[in-house]
Chain A
């Protein structure tokens, strides 16, 4: 070893001793939140709103000094709406990018794949899209949280409303994957409970843009209500084709959910008088102060009002922060315990809470309908609130029914 290298090594060693690397890492390394999302494919429009919601949450956190004094970083990855890609991206986010938390997922089948990875790596996961299985045994875990509504809550609520108000003879068209199948099952059940009949239920492959072959049968069956369980871009294609076959005058249309991003794409005429459930709509700002603050912050940053799924991302990222601050650590189990201990929160639309037996979020939802041309409020005021459905644990299956002891 020559004198020069001895000196540099010595200097480096002194510096390390003076500022222990471990300590430095703890105080300065950012906290990383991994966010797998289907940025491409039929859910791209909804995913874009979610990415923006998550980004707004991270920016707000950083403006207030981050989490535990550490900067927060958001790492968004495209899961292409494929479970195997979702699993791979999640694994990379955890192992290569060293993310302390995973938030996200926008499809029932992909979030199960993400959850498998987070459970294996013991990383806290807050799911931000609908699924009945994610908060039920055997899939759930003490470090798996579910921020979104689920098919049981949505289809029981919307189904009951439809049976009471629109008609009792239904035809259901549903996307043939986890979310579609779960909604179909709950809808069938709800219809029967209200003394209605499901004349038929037809599955179609998710991401299909061609529905014509399903329609003649429905035309001939003449249901009172056509229940469309067609998420993302499929929704616009389905409604357009139903309209082009002249079926709108013969039957009403209802859906478990409206997505403002799809309604905007399809236009006010297409969505006129279509009833559905929704977890958030920007016009709630008129009555809810928290919604007003969120809508204003979002609109200022992105120049468009927020839609419905971005709020899940926003709220879930803020819950990661709240849990970490309460637990004073990023350790998954301790953060999860802290969230269950202080289970009430309110980030954008009023009080929400985690049910402690299954880590499921309970929140208000609304029944909305398309306003139709000439009646919209600006470019984005396409929907009208028909009824508020307050949060209630009885909307979901009980923890016992979900397999929790």
Chain B
């Protein structure tokens, strides 16, 4: 029915990289928060949506996409800090179900609030003029903005890696995710670390939102399906593993893209098939450690 030409396949892989990049940004935030705090943040999709809407608003206020790109994630991160301080913190020490239920409820509230503020009809965002249009990659024409999304994802991942591996705070975060009790015994305020990590994780969700905005538009329900796929990414990568989130985000991006190429009807289901297969072979995910959920 169609030719499988190398250029088309290469274009498909590039498309999958962009899908994967957004998954990685969302999954890293989820995984960071879960790895450290064992909080399953169900409001992550709503914060992604908030990132796109705030980006739209800031674009209107400042007239600059670049300002919006920096400010929207910061605002979402700040909002994340408020959520942690007033909603999540009282639930520490209780069963992991409690913050899960709370953040699930919060996501429903945020969707309704978005409808109240920005309306039930979605908004369209345009990429900045400098990133408009397509470039010829030799084998295909590809949107410049999508290449930019790949670049931003790489830069953010490198910055995050440097922060976690090369700074003292990063060291404490890594230690805290291994053994919070020991870190506390050494005299560190684990609560402050958790506060910070929740802010970083939610800011990454906001960044994914504003990056996705010019491609997909902003609408109140935009976080509803992507949160499920992001959880699949986290589970496939291994709950709490950052490297896992990156590898698995890119993997799921390619699964979606290549399945769409060969059998579009199966694209949605293949995400879950991949998860099932990975869990059969490695029950705690590609890079997961056993026992985190117990």
- Tell me the A residues contacting B by CB distance below 8 Å: 39-42, 44-45, 48, 176, 199-200, 202-205, 207, 209-210, 212-217, 219-221, 233, 236-237, 240-241, 244-247, 261, 265-267
Contact = CB atoms under 8 A, between A and B. Distances in A.
Contact of A213 (B12, B124, B265): B12
B19 A213 contact: yes
Nearest to B11: A216
Nearest to B258: A213
B63 interface: no
A213 B256 contact: yes
Contacts of B128: none
Contacts of B7: 220
B15 A212 contact: yes
Interface stretch (B74-82, B139-147, B235-243): B139-147
Residue of A48, A200, A220, A247 ringed by the most chain B CB atoms within 10 A: A220
Contacts of B2: 199-200, 217, 220-221
Contact of B134 (A203, A210, A246): A246
Given A40-B220, A200-B1, A48 B120 contact: yes
Interface stretch (B154-162, B171-179, B211-219, B278-286): B211-219
A246 B264 contact: no
B294 interface: no
B10 to A, nearest CB: 8
Contacts of B265: 176, 203
Contacts of A261: 121
6 interchain residue pairs of minimum CB distance: A246-B134, A216-B11, A213-B260, A209-B216, A244-B143, A246-B141
Contact of A203 (B121, B146, B261, B264): B264
Contacts of A245: 134, 141-143
Nearest to A270: B124
A246 B268 CA distance: 26
Contacts of A237: 216-217
Nearest to A208: B225
B122 to A, nearest CB: 5
A210 B12 contact: no
Contacts, number: 114
18 contacts: A41-B221, A45-B121, A199-B2, A200-B1, A204-B264, A213-B12, A213-B15, A213-B19, A213-B256, A216-B261, A217-B12, A219-B141, A241-B215, A244-B134, A244-B146, A244-B215, A246-B141, A266-B124
Given A216-B11, A217-B12, A209 B217 contact: yes
B12 A216 contact: yes
B164 interface: no
A207 B18 CA distance: 19
Contacts of A41: 221
Nearest to A241: B215
Contacts of A207: 221, 225
Given A210-B216, A220-B7, A237-B217, A39 B124 contact: no
Q: Which of B8, B222, B256 counts the most A-chain CB atoms under 10 A from its CB? A: B8
B83 interface: no
Contact of A44 (B3, B121, B124): B121
Contacts of A42: 122, 219, 221
Contacts of A266: 124
Given A207-B225, A213-B267, A244-B133, 10 more contacts: A44-B120, A202-B260, A203-B265, A205-B267, A217-B261, A220-B2, A220-B11, A233-B121, A244-B134, A265-B121
B257 interface: yes
Interface string B197-223: 000000000000000000111011110
B29 interface: no
Contacts of A236: 122, 124, 217
A235 B225 CA distance: 19
A208 B7 CA distance: 26
A217 B265 CA distance: 15
Q: Which of A176, A203, A246, A261 has the most CB of B within 10 A?
A: A246
Interface residues of B, number: 42
Contacts of A48: 120-121
A212 B146 contact: yes
A249 to B, nearest CB: 9
Given A40-B115, A213-B257, A219 B124 contact: no
A219 B219 contact: no
Contacts of B145: 244
A216 B133 CA distance: 16
Interface in B88-127: 115, 120-122, 124, 127
A241 B18 CA distance: 13
Nearest to A199: B2
B219 A233 contact: yes
B221 A210 contact: no
B127 to A, nearest CB: 8
Interface string B245-285: 00000000000110011001101100000000000000000
Nearest to A248: B134
Contacts of B62: none
Contacts of A205: 267-268
Of the candidates A45, A48, A245, A267, the one having the most CB atoms from chain B within 10 angstroms of its own CB is: A245
A45 B220 CA distance: 13
Contacts of A44: 120-122
A247 B121 CA distance: 27
A200 to B, nearest CB: 6
Contacts of B11: 216, 219-220
Interface string B135-153: 0000011110110000000
A220 B3 contact: yes
A265 B1 CA distance: 35
B288 interface: no
A48 B5 CA distance: 45
B180 interface: no
A40 B221 contact: yes
A40 B120 contact: yes
A44 B123 CA distance: 12
Contact of A202 (B5, B12, B115, B264): B264
